[in-house]
């Protein structure tokens, strides 16, 4: 019975990867650019200084002992105040021009685009491609329990072909482009390049790796923004209601390695016609306690690790 419990748990963990398909993501408000915020703060400081100087001059006028000179001071204040206001506007315009990064595509040659411009072009194409068909596929690389020692490990090794076929047969199709691409930002992307290919623009991006624990979010993180990830692994409990699985006190990590995407965008329609999004899921597990709620059986999976190759394709891949 212990073997069956471990097998079902392992199978459920692997099948949970099948849940990481395309889901709708709520509209989000983009966080303010730190450089723009700094520029506005600096300009506010300049304007505050000008106001303080003007107030100081007005105070001098009020405290003057000679009433006849008051009009002269007032006139000087009125004459000097406009240049100060003009100087403030000029400094503000100059600061914003130099500190705000441009995401507007100004060149028809994609190879000259910045990372930010490439990302914006990709996001625009993805948003226009909500009617395309995407295909998701997973392939099990390995799954080892208790370092491969003992009868339980041998049993898991024996049923690996069943695990593999289950994942491969669970390939699904969905509409639109994978990932929370609306949230994709330059800090998510390690490398990005774009180039022309006939009437198409090709974009290739490599994202920074992402590591999640038990409670991940499907469309969050460097990889979640670009491709989508597994999400909350604790949903495995729902698949096995006859068991209590203590995920909270276990040590479980999921690493998304080698995340890349490559798409081919039609320059006429602006839509993605071909594309591939992929990464390797690396799972590591320690000290997972499992208890049967109907029978007096319990066990602890001392250690386990596995890998799954994950990819999404559009138009047969690219």
Mean pLDDT of all residues in the chain?
76
**What is the average pLDDT across 68-97?**
42
Q: Phi first, then psi: what are they for 175, rounded to 5°?
A: -90, 145
Which pLDDT does position 5 carry in this prediction? 52
Which residues are CB-contacts of 38 (< 8 A; sequence separation ≥ 6)?
A: 99
Instruction: Summarize pLDDT for 255-290 with one digit per residue, the tens.
Output: 999 999 999 999 999 999 999 999 999 999 999 998
Long-range CB contacts for residues 38-43, cutoff 8 Å, separation at least 24 = 38/99, 39/92, 39/95, 39/96, 39/99, 39/100, 42/95, 43/88, 43/91, 43/92, 43/95
Instruction: Summarize pLDDT for 88-137 with one digit per residue, the tens.
Output: 334 344 444 444 455 665 578 999 999 999 999 999 999 999 999 999 99
Which residues are CB-contacts of 238 (< 8 A; sequence separation ≥ 6)?
A: none
Which two tokens mark 155? 């049993």
Asked if residue 295 lies in contact with residue 125, where contact means CB atoms within 8 angstroms, the answer is no
**What is the average pLDDT across 205-233?**
95
Which pLDDT does position 104 carry in this prediction? 65
Banded pLDDT at 242 (limits 50, 70, 90): confident
Asked if residue 317 lies in contact with residue 178, where contact means CB atoms within 8 angstroms, the answer is no
Distances (CA, A) of 141 to 54, 61, 154: 73, 83, 17
Torsion of CA 137, 259, 318, 204, to 10 degrees: 160
């Amino acid at each position: 019975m212990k073997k069956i419990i471990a097998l079902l748990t392992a199978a459920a963990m692997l099948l949970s990867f099948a849940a990481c398909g395309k889901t709708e993501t709520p509209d989000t408000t983009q966080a303010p650019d730190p450089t723009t915020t700094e520029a506005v703060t600096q300009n506010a400081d300049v304007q505050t200084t000008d106001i303080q100087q003007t107030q100081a001059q007005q105070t001098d006028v009020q405290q003057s002992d000679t009433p006849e000179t008051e009009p002269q001071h007032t006139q000087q204040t009125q004459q000097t105040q406009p240049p100060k206001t003009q100087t403030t506007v000029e400094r503000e315009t100059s600061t914003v021009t130099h500190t705000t990064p441009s995401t507007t595509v100004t060149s028809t040659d994609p190879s000259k685009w910045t990372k930010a411009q490439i990302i914006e072009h990709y996001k625009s194409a993805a948003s226009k491609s909500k009617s395309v068909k995407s295909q998701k596929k997973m392939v099990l690389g390995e799954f080892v329990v208790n370092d491969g020692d003992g009868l339980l490990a041998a049993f898991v090794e024996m049923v690996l072909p069943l695990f593999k076929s289950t994942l491969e047969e669970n390939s699904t199709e969905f509409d639109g482009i994978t990932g929370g691409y609306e949230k994709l930002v330059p800090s998510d992307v390690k490398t990005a390049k774009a180039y022309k290919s006939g009437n198409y623009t090709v974009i290739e991006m490599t994202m920074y790796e992402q590591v999640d624990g038990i409670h991940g979010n499907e469309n969050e993180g460097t990889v979640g923004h670009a491709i989508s990830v597994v999400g909350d692994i604790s949903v495995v409990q729902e698949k096995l209601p006859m068991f209590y699985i203590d995920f909270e006190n276990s040590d479980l990590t999921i690493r998304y390695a080698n995340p890349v995407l490559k798409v081919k965008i039609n320059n006429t329609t602006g839509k993605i016609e071909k594309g591939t999004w992929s990464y390797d899921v690396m799972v590591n597990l320690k000290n997972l306690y499992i208890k049967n709620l109907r029978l007096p059986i319990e066990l602890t999976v001392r250690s386990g690790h596995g890998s799954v190759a994950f990819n999404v394709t559009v138009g047969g891949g690219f």
